[in-house]
Amino acid sequence: MIAPQERLIAALDVPTAADARQLVATLGDAVHFYKIGLELLMAPGFFELLAALKAEQKKVFVDLKFFDIPETVARAVRNLSERGADFCTIHGNQSIMEAAAKAKSGHTKVLAVTALTSLDQGDLDDMGFACDVAELVLSRARRALAAGCDGVVSSGLEVEKLRLEAPRELICVTPGIRPVENRVEADQKRIMTPTAAIRAGADYLVIGRPIRDAADPRAMALKIQAEIADALGARA
């Protein structure tokens, strides 16, 4: 069972660890789960921020999309597990996913990335994928489940079909979430509202700019939390 208030993962897509800590302080108890990724990794204080979030009893999704030889990915996942990360992401083939799944420890969950929400069918065609987006997502989800991964990162547009094949087994984390009043994003092509994603079967929603750039980030986070709660009631 997932606590309703933990289904919102606020993305700390900010330049520095100090900026991240300020946003966390602003959001207060409106957010219980945070994502930290590549932008913060390239700034000082990434792991100190992770430790500080864990000390405040927050959950942390480390989104670095590991892609390397299986042994290297396994060692990276093992180190993150020891640092208390709740979720981490990987790319790659079956051997990479299997290595990551075996290396995790404690309560760390390994999530396989399916297809980035910044990609549409035209992008996949350009990259040489001879299938549509939904087919690719479902294929990678099947392989992630077989490899022992705990879940996948998937656009909300594919969640409903994914749930028909793995209704309970896989955690589904959904980025590309935009409230109705904040839908225009040049680099996010496959997007969905919080209500639609939850009703489709998403477990967690990753939301960054709509919260970060709001006039009142805490009020926006609370509004999204209320929308998630309403959608869960409708889904039940």
**Helix H or strand E encompassing 48:** helix 46-55
User: How many whole angstroms separate alpha carbon 83 and alpha carbon 129?
Assistant: 36
Half-sphere exposure of 110 (CA within 13 A, CB side): 31
**Helix H or strand E encompassing 111:** strand 109-113
Point out the catalytic residue in the list 65, 102, 123, 161. Answer: 65
CA 139, 175, 91, 152 torsion-angle sign: negative
Residue 64 assigned ligand-binding role = yes
Residue 63 assigned ligand-binding role = yes
Residue 216 assigned ligand-binding role = no
Residue 66 assigned ligand-binding role = yes
Beta strands in 12-106 (DSSP E): 33-37, 59-66, 87-90
Residue 6 gets which letter from DSSP? Answer: G
Point out the catalytic residue in the list 63, 86, 104, 223. Answer: 63
Residue 87 assigned ligand-binding role = no
Residue 65 a catalytic site member: yes
Residue 177 assigned ligand-binding role = no
Residue 13 assigned ligand-binding role = yes
- Coil/strand/helix, residue 162: helix
Residue 117 assigned ligand-binding role = yes
* Residues whose CB falls within 8 Å of the CB of residue 165, separated by 6 or more in sequence, listed in order: 138, 141, 142
Residue 36 assigned ligand-binding role = no
Point out the catalytic residue in the list 19, 54, 68, 230. Answer: 68
Q: Answer for the pair 185, 178: CB distance below 8 angstroms, yes or no.
A: yes
9, β-bridge pairs = 33, 206
Q: Which two three-digit tokens encode residue 145?
A: 């489940």
Residue 68 a catalytic site member: yes
Residue 188 assigned ligand-binding role = yes
Instruction: Say which residue the tokens 């500080």 belong to.
Output: 52
Residue 169 assigned ligand-binding role = no
Residue 35 assigned ligand-binding role = yes
Residue 121 assigned ligand-binding role = no
Binding residues: 13, 35, 63-72, 117, 178, 188, 208-209
Q: Which residues are catalytic?
A: 63, 65, 68
Binding residues for substrate: 13, 35, 63-72, 117, 178, 188, 208-209
